[in-house]
Amino acid sequence: MRGGPLVVVGDTLLDVDLHGTVGRVAPDAPVPVVDCQRERHRAGGAGLAAVLAAGLCTGLGGADVVLITALGQDRFGAKLRDLLGRHVQVIPLPLDGGTPCKIRVHAAGQPVVRLDAGDGRARPGQAGPQAERALRQASAVLMADYGRGVAAHPALATALSRLAATRPVVWDPHPAGGRPLPGSRLVTPSRSEARGFAAALTDGDGSDGAGTGLAGAARDAAALSRAWGSAVAVTLGEGGALLHTGEAVPLLAPAEAIAGPHDSCGAGDCFAAAAAQVLRSGGLLSEAVTEAVRRATDFVRQGGASASPGATIPPEASPVRAIPPPDAGDDAGAWRMVAEVRARGGRIVATGGCFDLLHAGHVGLLREARRLGDCLVVCLNSDASVRALKGPARPLVPAEDRARILAALECVDAVVVFGEPTPAAVLERLRPDVWVKGGDYAPDDLTEAPVVRRHGGEVVLLPYLIRHSTTDLVAAAQRKVAS
């Protein structure tokens, strides 16, 4: 990690949560009367991202954080100075107009209404020596653009342009904001934001629904990556995040399931803050996005930005299969199940491999792959195919047993054995909506990818658990025997 601070630059607003109960309707209008019992103030926008980077995303070295933002000389601005000063160093810029404030009224845990106030925008002019010095010393920059002028500040833009050549810049965009800084290491739009930005590239407004689903997110991410010259991580809510770095195959970082109702407010800020901290520490883009998904998921699980202290989440219910899985080795049953899932409009996910000595890396990959659709089909290399790929000493476990072990996993719905060196032929028949491989594969290794795409499917890589491989397990066993 470089010695300088993480500098967060962007627009800050004040969020106010009013919590109460409703016991009656107003006599003068047909509206509920909310008896407010608790009031909570917190920083929003860039302020929330800075606070999360400094403390809530623990374990990533987040204590040294500087926030450059515009604050008004009003009561909302004064409240923000107090809230932010407890967590980060604040370098304020002048604000023309009132400090933005969003007041959310909740009754019995449900939102009732939101009231917005303050139209302030950052005042153009000199950023000041303190802000310029902070940027020169920065180890990384997180730009939280909410379209209120800080990201477009001319003096800051000049300093950031010089900085981007040597320091990671993470840009969290907003529909009301501007184009990300050229040279940004990572841009983190939400799914809807990515759709709007991509549509704008072709003079559309994004309202036609084009580009929906995982394949649509991948197309939008690729288009934005080309247009912006940056890696793009499209956040997909409960689906995790899809990272496009210019390679032919994007990386999907899945999120763990969260049971019960939850508030995702602030998840995007947490994602961007965590990604910036990982890149600041010298991490890879894949590591940054994977860790950011994990941190954002934990943040939402704990209740999000507006959660009440001590809120609990009910335990997750056991998954229910709508269609009984076929027996291992029952290829006919596997194809029937696939046909039934497709007939009802379900999403077919497939992955493939030798799976010789099933280990934790395999299980993790299969569990995450299953969450991408309505059924998971494993395309399993036959014994002859494994020998051709791995040598005459493999497989260690025959195909019949490997198929039986895989089919016993809750996350696997069917196993289909193929005898060719690659699964291209079986994929011609299967036509999966999503073809998944582990992140230890290089995109050029996926010779079957054109087959999947020709039938309208999407190819994604999932993060792979390091230090888990059959080859390593065999070598370790041989060392033990030898000793």
Task: Kindly report, residue by residue over 126-147, the tens digit of the pLDDT.
Answer: 788 899 899 999 999 999 988 8
- CATH-assigned architecture of domain 331-482: 3-Layer(aba) Sandwich (3.40)
Looking at per-residue pLDDT, the higher value among 206 and 458 belongs to 458
Active-site position among 15, 17, 145, 269: 269
- Please, which pLDDT band fits residue 60 given cuts at 50, 70 and 90? very low
Model pLDDT, residue 49:
93
Q: List where CATH 3.40.50.620 sits in the chain.
A: 331-482
- Topology of the domain covering 6-301: UDP-N-acetylmuramoyl-L-alanine:D-glutamate ligase (3.40.1190)
- Please, which pLDDT band fits residue 428 given cuts at 50, 70 and 90? very high
Q: List where CATH 3.40.1190.20 sits in the chain.
A: 6-301
- Please, which pLDDT band fits residue 17 given cuts at 50, 70 and 90? confident
Q: Taking the alpha carbons of 64, 70, 74, 75 in that order, is the dihedral positive or negative?
A: negative
Model pLDDT, residue 80:
92
Region 15-22: mean pLDDT is: 88
- Please, which pLDDT band fits residue 154 given cuts at 50, 70 and 90? confident
**Is the model's pLDDT at 31 over the cut of 60?**
yes
Q: What pLDDT, in 10s, does the model give residues 206-236?
A: 555 555 688 899 999 999 999 999 999 999 9
Region 12-41: mean pLDDT is: 87
374 as an active site residue: the answer is: no
Model pLDDT, residue 56:
46
